[in-house]
Amino acid sequence: MPYHLFKCSECIPEREKHAVVKGESDDLSTCLPLGYLNTIPGSISERGCAFCGAKHVIGTPMKDVIHLSHGPVGCTYDTWQTKRYISDDGNFQLKYTFASDMKEKHVVFGAEDQLRNSIKEAFKAFPHIKRMTIYQTCASALIGDDINALAQEIMEEMPEVDIFVCNSPGFAGPSQSGGHHKINIAWINQKVGTIEPEIKSRYVINYVGDYNIQGDVEIMCDYFRRMGIQVLSVFTGNGKYDDLRAMHKAQLNVLECARSAEYICNELRVRYGTPRLDIDGFGHEMVSESLLKIGLFFGLEKEAQAIIDEETARWRPELDWYAKRLKGVKVCLWPGGSKLWHWAHIIEKEMGLDVVSIYSKFGHQGDFEKGIARAKVGTLAIDDPNELEGLEAMEDWKADIIFTGKRPGEVAKKVLVPYLNAHAYHNGPWKGFEGWVRFARDIYNAVYSPIHQLAKIDITKDEYPLDQGFMTQE
């Protein structure tokens, strides 16, 4: 068994089965860490909760909506300000955050009146917004407030508004992944099929599982539109509430992040017979394959090929410029979920990087299967890592750079390893032909920036290194 027990985790021996090093003859039957289980007590997890997965990952990228948390104000504030799912309507969803502000007395006497007032106050404050999502939190779930009934009551009183309720408290699963599931199912149960859309093309898709991080959705939808395809809805980046109520009318669900949004695609297939087509927007080869797959489905291969040719001619030379300079740079690829397999092989192939470790905070075993299948011998794969394990791995696997989130990223900086924000990006978007070059540029800047070179110098020991050529990298 290629399991790997970190020295720092010897006191938590259960952790052993959550990390593996891929060996010479290992295949997926011998080389798979456990995944999507409850965090082991004693291991300080970096995971988010099921409320966060439902609200902050999937719900709040919807743009024309008041997103209201029914709970203490801290639940809604935490993580909200670090998200970068921009929209083209003035970023209403990023500018404002709403909570019913539950206090101790509400826990004792109930918070439904408080919620009713909050809903009315929010609609009054923003009269041009007629849509709302309400998110249950641990506190309101435990006291059993009936949010659904209250939403119904308000919709009867105010017929011009529509409200969606997401019952996914923080404890509704081992990680944010539980919340992805809950909100997928809640949306199809409550809202899909309640509006009939205008169909403007012979080719109609829903683009599912892209949250428009720094504009990813814009890049991808531009390709689809150039092929002559109508994008009926985007689940949920830059998405409109009412467009998403019409998801049942698309001919095809084009699925980007399978980890967070396969559930709604599977339900749409069962209930409406809409097929699901998985694509990958990261990397020139993967985007090309994806556009061709969609083209094949609709008989639009020529249109897809024209975009691929044009975009490749425009962006490939720039990508190759960076690839030459990134050759052999050792990477720990440590995102939250599906990016571990979206990126693992293609950053090696197209940018020359050397992936030495992959991890996932909340991926399921299927995500590890895909990630490990694409990783080479010697790669360390970790499920639900803790901070000390991350530090040990960086030292033992000699990473030059880490692609991860803010919290582990700041830890990496302290041990002088540069990091890129794999979640919110540095200078994104990173999807599509253009985005992939932006990603390469961000990696290049992180690896070669004089500031990182300077940070590596121990001024208590080294001479001031003006003569070491640290500013002369091409």
* Residues of the shown chain interacting with ligand CFM in the complex, contacts defined by CB under 6 A: 53, 57, 176, 211, 213, 257, 259-260, 335-339, 423
Distance CA 421, CA 410 (A): 10
Shortest distance in whole angstroms from residue 260 CB to ligand CFM: 4
The residue at minimum Cβ distance from ligand CFM is: 336
SS (H, E, C) 18-84: HEEECCCCCCCCCCCCCCCCCCCCCCCECCCCHHHHHHHHHHCCCCCCEEEEECCHHHHHCCHHHCC
Shortest distance in whole angstroms from residue 258 CB to ligand CFM: 8
Closer residue to ligand CFM (CB): 91 or 194: 91
Distances (CA, A) of 19 to 9, 313, 359, 380, 422: 11, 41, 9, 7, 21
Shortest distance in whole angstroms from residue 257 CB to ligand CFM: 3
Shortest distance in whole angstroms from residue 469 CB to ligand CFM: 36
Distance CA 38, CA 376 (A): 28
User: Exposure string (b/e) for 152-184, b if CB count within 10 Å is 16 or more?
Assistant: eebeeeeeebbbbbbbbbbebbbbbbbbbbbbb
Distance CA 317, CA 348 (A): 17
CA pseudo-torsion sign 286, 289, 291, 294? negative
Closer residue to ligand CFM (CB): 48 or 295: 48
Closer residue to ligand CFM (CB): 137 or 338: 338
Element (H, E) at 426: none
Closer residue to ligand CFM (CB): 203 or 343: 343
Closer residue to ligand CFM (CB): 295 or 337: 337
Closer residue to ligand CFM (CB): 283 or 335: 335
Closer residue to ligand CFM (CB): 174 or 335: 335
Distance CA 179, CA 177 (A): 5
Shortest distance in whole angstroms from residue 34 CB to ligand CFM: 18
Cis peptide before 275 (omega within 30 of 0): no
Residue 70, strand partner residues: 136
Structure tokens given for 369: 């299967």
Shortest distance in whole angstroms from residue 261 CB to ligand CFM: 7
Closer residue to ligand CFM (CB): 213 or 375: 213
Shortest distance in whole angstroms from residue 82 CB to ligand CFM: 10
Element (H, E) at 357: strand 354-360
Shortest distance in whole angstroms from residue 336 CB to ligand CFM: 2
Strands (E), 268-337: 276-278, 330-333
